Amino acid sequence: MATDAPPPSKAEPRLPSTEEFTAVQQSAEFGELRRTHRSFAFPLTIAFIAWYLVYVLLSNYAGDFMGTKLFGNINVALVLGLAQFLTTFLIAWWYSRHAAAKLDPKADAIKARMEGGA
């Protein structure tokens, strides 16, 4: 006779209390995780915003320079505009590698402890 019992599944993770979240947030390990993220993300964000603003300012105030033909109908403005897309993808790729190597292992260790898995 077959039963309609659901198949066994992984145990549900334990939900930490508010006090446990607060304690982890104030821990040195979490502070290190936050510093690692910020020391990578903030400088890159500032650099990219500066790069974008330079492009906008050049477009507004250096029209002759931006209109300089490099070859055929390709000018400086087009090359710099396409470079904006390229740098966006490069930064995303670089951050993904950084997160996988430095952030995710630390975050996973904290999460495992919080959920009672370690």
The domain segmentation of the chain, as residue ranges, is: 27-114
Tens digit of pLDDT at every position of the chain (118 positions): 555 655 555 667 778 788 888 888 999 999 999 999 999 999 999 999 999 999 999 999 999 999 999 999 999 999 999 999 999 999 999 999 999 999 999 999 998 888 884 4
> What is the C-alpha to C-alpha distance for residues 87 and 81, in angstroms, rounded to an integer?
10
pLDDT of res. 118: 47
For residue 30 the two structure tokens come to 């979490």
pLDDT of res. 8: 52
Task: Cite the DSSP H helix spans in 14-103.
Answer: 18-25, 28-61, 63-66, 76-98
pLDDT of res. 15: 81
For the whole model, what pTM was predicted?
Answer: 0.76
pLDDT of res. 86: 97
For residue 40 the two structure tokens come to 């990578």
With H, G, I as helix, E, B as strand and everything else as coil, classify residue 28: helix
For residue 96, which phi and psi values (nearest 5 degrees)? -60, -45
